[in-house]
Structure 1
């Protein structure tokens, strides 16, 4: 069995196999992840992302993103000003929305916004919408976020959550070939406990975490 790409646990078990891929689950942090042999190469992965058409004037998409933006903005303290949209994709609509709300935003995406200089400073909040499920090595992103987030800062993640094996077998979300890491409530509770973060679940797919003050 492959070690967990999130917590490096070596107690993983077979979770599901379909016609294209095999999935494992970590028994320590509950992450479900794709067999590494089924991962796409960089060119094929980017070709899928290039098909996305997320534009600022798409009001339906803005409403979708507001499910994270609105509760995050309600929780940000008055002194918060700087945010980072991590995994912003080809159309950083969320960053534009937050800029319109008065915040200074930086964007990072390994394909579309690859300037790593934005990863050399800290932020009052970090957003990651519909991106964490694409991470081959989510442990690296988690370590980066811990460094990038100021004490007292907020992390907002949007991703669909695993519930159980039976539902997973029928789940359309797993069929996207670029989706390789699948989180559950148990996974986020594990991460929050490991890093002493405050944790809130908002609806079915929005996760908010606050880093403790020093």
Structure 2
């Protein structure tokens, strides 16, 4: 892949120091100005968008997911728990937009919590599957959503770590929120104890797809920067298929055990904020 050498995606500083240098062509560096972690160098955005648009991204070998479909029981369990937690925090009801919806498992689990559900994804294969689980699904990014269509809640889970211009991405999402609407952003938690324990073997160092690494402080800063108010933490327990966990320990288990889940705490950071309307005024 063609590579680019960039400044900090959060603050723009060129000052950085090595943090995790042992990823062959790549390393994860830490900004010396704002302490944000990011991939350096990184593939160009055009190269990665081409990867995400491939039909085999969700069922491939070299990149993406080995089999997203085999993770369905664990993903659905995760999203059911997420919806329950969102309801407890008064984030459900009305219309929902999910950016990066994959096969639509979250949208399907949201059917008892939202009246109208819309998704987007770059993969044509994913879009075809997700269309059976929501009212509307667009192929592409948030730019494919009609500009006059606004939502009570927008969620992007396991997406922002792939995004090349994170502030612009959140600003685009905010243009589709109704006044008083909620934005939920979930991403691998760089502040997790798992990262400290596992270091270079932390599974969320998914190189080169994950180019940004957020902790609670950095994600809060970004969400506040675009004008969201009352930034709060949303509990996000995550279930993983047992064979997937075993594979991270170099142990191979039969895929028939995918129906058995292991709940892992603190792997995912989720924050939500309220759109007050008239951002930037």
2:221 is aligned with 1:190: yes
Alpha-carbon distance, 1:122 to partner: 1.8
The structural deviation recorded for 1:124 is: 0.6
Question: Does structure 1 residue 199 correspond to structure 2 residue 252?
Answer: no
Stretches of structure 2 lacking an aligned partner (at least 5 in a row): 60-64, 125-138, 237-265
CA distance in 2, matches of 1:102, 1:93: 14
Give secondary structure in 2 for the equivalent of 1:2.
coil
Picking from 3, 10, 29, the partner of 2:7 is 3
Bigger mean CA deviation after superposition, 141-150 or 42-51: 42-51
Greater RCO (Cα-Cα under 8 Å, separation 6 or more): 1
Q: Verify: 1:151 aligned to 2:179, yes or no.
A: yes
Larger deviation: 58-67 or 177-186?
Answer: 58-67
Distance 1:25 1:67 in 2: 33
Q: Give the 5 Å matches for 1:1-214.
A: 2-20=6-24, 21-27=26-32, 29-38=34-43, 41=47, 42-46=49-53, 49-51=57-59, 52=65, 53-55=67-69, 58-76=72-90, 80-89=93-102, 91-112=103-124, 113-114=139-140, 116-120=143-147, 121-163=149-191, 166-167=196-197, 168-194=199-225, 195-201=227-233, 202-203=235-236, 204=266, 205-214=268-277
Tell me, in whole angstroms, the C-alpha distance in 2 between the residues paired with 1:114 and 1:103: 23
In structure 2, how many angstroms separate the alpha carbons of the residues matched to 1:161 and 1:77? 21
Q: Distance in 2 between matches of 1:73 and 1:96?
A: 16
Worse-matched range after superposition: 25-34 or 120-129: 25-34
SS in 2 for 1:173: coil
Are the structure 2 counterparts of residues 57 and 176 from structure 1 closer, same or farther at C-alpha, using a change threshold of 3 Å? closer
Q: TM-score, normalised by structure 1?
A: 0.80
The farther-off stretch of 50-59 and 15-24 is 50-59
Q: Cα gap change, 1:147/1:14 in structure 2, threshold over 3 Å: closer, same or farther?
A: farther
Based on CA coordinates, which of the two structures has the bigger radius of gyration?
Answer: 2
SS in 2 for 1:208: strand
Query: Secondary structure in 2 aligned to 1:150?
Result: strand
TM-score normalised to structure 2 length: 0.64
3-state DSSP of counterpart to 1:72: helix
Is contact 1:82–1:105 with CA below 8 Å preserved after alignment?
yes
**Change over 3 Å in CA distance of 1:44–1:118 after alignment to 2:** closer
The CA deviation string for residues 26-64 of structure 1, in whole angstroms up to 9 with x for no partner, is 355543211244468244455573324445993322111
Secondary structure of the residue that 2:204 maps to in structure 1? Answer: helix
Where does structure 1 lack aligned partners over 5 or more consecutive residues?
none
